[in-house]
A and B are shown apart, each in its own frame.
Chain A
Amino acid sequence: MNNTAHSLILVAVIAGITILLRFLPFLVFRSGAPKTVLYLGKVLPYAIIGMLVVYCLKNVSFTDGSHGISEILSVGLVVALHKWKHNTLLSVAVGTACYMVLVQAVF
């Protein structure tokens, strides 16, 4: 019971801080943001999506396991397919299928 109560408090704390972080920019810049911040809002998406790609691949090791070959091939396939067809669903589905086959059946 005590354990349940502590877990509930932890969930509340984690939820509260996550919400606070998400609202922070909107609270700080409630009465209009300075030019520099608006500039950041314009350029950051380009940099952040790059960061998220690296974040997703952060556990890839080039020195052991399959040396990241599954990841390199699958990401390459997604890029090529998307450049060719420009169909998000197709690129994601084929890239994921390729990765699943590689990690399950090949490496």
Chain B
Amino acid sequence: MEIRSVQKNTLKYAWKASIPVMAGYVVLGIGFGVLLEDKGYGWWWAALMSLTIYAGSMQYVAVDLLAGGATIVSAALMTVFVNIRHVFYGLTMLEKYNAAGREKPYLIFALTDETFSLVCSAQLPEGIDEKKYYLYVSLLNQCYWVVGSVIGAVAGTVIPFSSTGIDFAMTALFVVIFVEQWEKTKQHLPAVSGIVISVLCRIVFGASGFLIPAMIGILAAMLLEKRWLEGEGGKPL
């Protein structure tokens, strides 16, 4: 009885936490499905890709790769460039996910930008099963994504209202998490570094090429700041 109520509470908590992602994923998924259908790939392609690739921005890129008949090598390189940021997420979740038991492989597989944002700094209240929270959030998010992309492929063109701008939900979610992380600590150096380095790289390298230099820059900055952040002079995280 006790265990069942913890499970239920955890599911409820995970569902609530995932609602902003639901809004974003259903919409972005629909957009992806519409695009794919437009290039002549039916709904089962949308389902297949959302189940196996499960990486939002990469799937948008993949539509062009598929439709343009890209070579295997160029598709592989593109995937590395677009998705290398996921290595960061793994580094961050090493300790937590290594303790996750048999769910670990799925948790790692499903670690998208949005799922990462919900698990990386989650402070769970009493009575919530941490491992199950990770599992439920990961599963729910992938469901939203798969359902959204299939809806897009099947019925995307008949959606009756203008949804232009609704994908801002994702941006808003990241901003909210940024604010929450900001309030959680007095040490703002990592957060400020992340923003400043990314903006500088965006200005220097342009919208399509800034992510990799930004990641290298952030990694370098964190290592340079290590002594300060861990030393007596720095405020603790």
Q: What is the size category of the interface that chain B forms with chain A?
A: 35 or more
A50 to B177, CA, bound (A): 9
Query: Are B237 and A25 in contact, CB atoms less than 8 angstroms apart?
Result: no
B192-227 with Cβ < 8 A to chain A: 192-195, 197-199, 202, 207, 210-211, 214-215, 218-219, 221-223, 225-226
Quick one: closest A residue to B73, CB to CB? A13
Interface band, chain A = 35 or more
The reply to whether A22 and B108 form a contact with Cβ atoms under 8 Å apart is yes
Judge whether A41 and B92 touch: CB under 8 Å. Answer: yes
Output the least CB separation between B109 and chain A (Å).
6
Flag if A99 contacts B190 (CB, 8 Å).
Answer: no
Chain B residues with Cβ under 8 A from A23's Cβ? Answer: 90, 108-109
Cα of A52 to Cα of B214 in the assembled complex, Å: 11
Contact A7 B41 (CB under 8 A): yes
- Shortest A105–chain B CB gap in Å is 10
A79, chain B: closest CB distance, angstroms:
6
8 A-B pairs within 8 Å (CB atoms) are namely: A7-B45, A18-B53, A42-B237, A44-B91, A45-B181, A50-B192, A54-B198, A74-B171
Question: A18 and B58 in contact (CB under 8 A), knowing A26-B98, A53-B178, A54-B202?
Answer: yes
| Interface pair B174/A49, CB less than 8 Å apart | yes
Q: What is the CA–CA distance of A53 and B183 in the complex, to the nearest angstrom?
A: 17
* B111 and A39 contact, CB distance less than 8 A: no
| Chain A residue contacts of B194, Cβ below 8 A | 46-51
Interface assignment of B124: CB less than 8 Å from any CB of chain A: no
The distance from the CB of A57 to the nearest CB of chain B, in whole angstroms, is 6
B66 at the interface (CB under 8 A from A): yes
Q: Given the complex, which residues of B lie within 8 Å of A14, measured CB to CB?
A: 53, 58, 62, 65, 75-76, 79
B174 / chain A contacts, CB cutoff of 8 Å: 49, 52-53, 56
- Decide yes or no whether A63 CB sits under 8 A from chain B: no
CB pair B76 A26 closer than 8 Å: no
B155 interfacial by beta-carbon distance below 8 Å: no
In the complex, what's the smallest C-beta–C-beta distance from B117 to chain A, in angstroms?
6
Give the shortest distance, in Å, between A50 (CB) and chain B (any CB): 3
Partner of A17, one of B79, B104, B168, B178: B79
